[in-house]
Structure formats: C-alpha cells, structure tokens
C-alpha cells in the first residue's frame, strides 16, 4: 500500500490482525533525498471488533534492496526512525494544548469503543532528524503489538527482555492487554481521509 502526497479518494477500509504484522504503507522510491527533522503525527479513523485497541505506529526507512535501515536508539542499538503509541480508549484530547504535530491526550477518562463503530485517533510520533537518500522509501506501519526487526536481538545483563527494536520496554502483559480485547481485529476507515504529517525540510 502506498504513501502519497496526493489526497486519496475517500472510502474503503482495511482490516488487520493486531497480533500479526499489521499494515505497512510505503512511498515509491524517492526521486531526490529528503530531510525529516522534527515531530511527526498520524490521524487515523478506526474501529475494532472489541471495546478497545492498542495502536503501535512505526516510521521506517527501506533501502533500494528492500531491506529496512535501522538506527542506534537510546538503549536499543537497532531501532526504526520513529515510533508512536495510543490506546484507543485514551483518545480524548486537550484541545487547547494540542498542536497539529503534537496531540495532547488528557488520560483522565476512559472512552471504550463500541465494537464496529469508527472513532478518530491522533497519534504522536517521536521527533527525528534524518536525511533519506534518493531511491530509498519512507514507510509507515500500523500494528497492534510492539515493533520487532528481523535481525538478532540485543541484550543487556541488567535487562530482562531482549531488545528487538523498541528497547527492553515491551507491551505483552496479558493483565493489561487481555487477548480477547486487544487481539480483536482492527479496521482502518478512509472515508474521512486519514493522514501522516511529516517534518519535511526543503533541501534548497
């Protein structure tokens, strides 16, 4: 599926298994290098087959050979460009504090989903600074579980969990994420035009 600057035609849905690899949207190979410096944000319109959903969004870069380019993180030596997270029942925004590139969630009220009913989500993606070369691709993955790369996991002697792309801090506690709720299928809706906001810096 494609990421594009063109306004998409409204309508249609895509459904994914949140315990699988989710959905990935990618640009075509870049015609020229592109600098991304600053915060990113994602607007989605989703529904779930249950009363909640966890959204794990991953900003990624792929080389001309199709292999993902990984970067040094604060703890994890192999991470994607950027990541963001949101539990759908915590989607409530503080409208006065929110900015286009930084949604501010109040986390003062739980708003369960109605199974099958669409809701609007605004998800912050951590800031980054990178120049993506020509012929590389920028991609966005939307998942229901932690990101994991395909390479060998790193370990630290004082950390229990191996690091596969999001450091040692995983989201796999079934007390917090009961499978009957957070394992239910999630649907992306396109009739209201979701979008990814990227901090593109002009190169000249």
Q: Number of structural domains, the chain?
A: 1
Region 103-113: mean pLDDT is 97
pLDDT tens per residue across span 172-186: 889 999 999 999 999
Is 191 inside a domain boundary? yes
pTM for this model (two decimals): 0.92
Is 148 inside a domain boundary? yes
Confidence of residue 157 (pLDDT cuts 50, 70, 90): low
- Percentage of the chain lying above the pLDDT 70 cut: 98
Is the confidence at residue 49, as pLDDT, over 80? yes
Region 35-61: mean pLDDT is 97
Is 50 inside a domain boundary? yes
Task: Give me Rg for the CA atoms of the chain.
Answer: 17
pLDDT of residue 158: 66
Is 146 inside a domain boundary? yes
Is 127 inside a domain boundary? yes
- What CATH number did the domain enclosing 116 receive? 2.60.120.260
Question: Euclidean distance between the first and final Cα of the chain, in Å?
Answer: 30
Is 203 inside a domain boundary? no
Task: Determine the structural domain holding residue 128 and report its residue range.
Answer: 13-198
């Amino acid at each position: 599926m494609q990421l594009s600057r063109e306004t998409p035609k409204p309508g249609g849905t895509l459904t994914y298994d949140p315990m699988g690899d989710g959905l990935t949207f990618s640009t075509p190979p870049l015609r020229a290098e592109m600098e991304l410096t600053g915060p990113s944000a994602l607007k989605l319109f989703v529904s779930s087959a249950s009363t909640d959903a966890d959204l794990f969004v991953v900003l990624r870069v792929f080389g001309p050979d199709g292999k993902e380019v990984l970067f040094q993180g604060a703890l994890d030596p192999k991470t994607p460009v950027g990541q963001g997270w949101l539990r759908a029942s915590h989607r409530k925004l503080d409208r006065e504090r929110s900015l286009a590139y930084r949604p501010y969630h109040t986390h003062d009220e739980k708003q369960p989903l109605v199974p099958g009913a669409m809701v609007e989500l605004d998800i912050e993606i951590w800031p980054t600074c990178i120049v993506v070369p020509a012929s590389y691709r920028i991609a966005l993955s939307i998942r229901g579980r932690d990101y994991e790369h395909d390479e060998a996991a790193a370990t630290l002697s004082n950390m229990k969990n191996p690091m596969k792309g999001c450091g040692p801090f995983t989201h796999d506690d079934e007390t917090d994420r009961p499978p009957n709720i957070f394992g239910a299928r999630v649907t992306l809706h396109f009739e209201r035009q979701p979008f990814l906001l990227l901090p593109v810096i002009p190169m000249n």
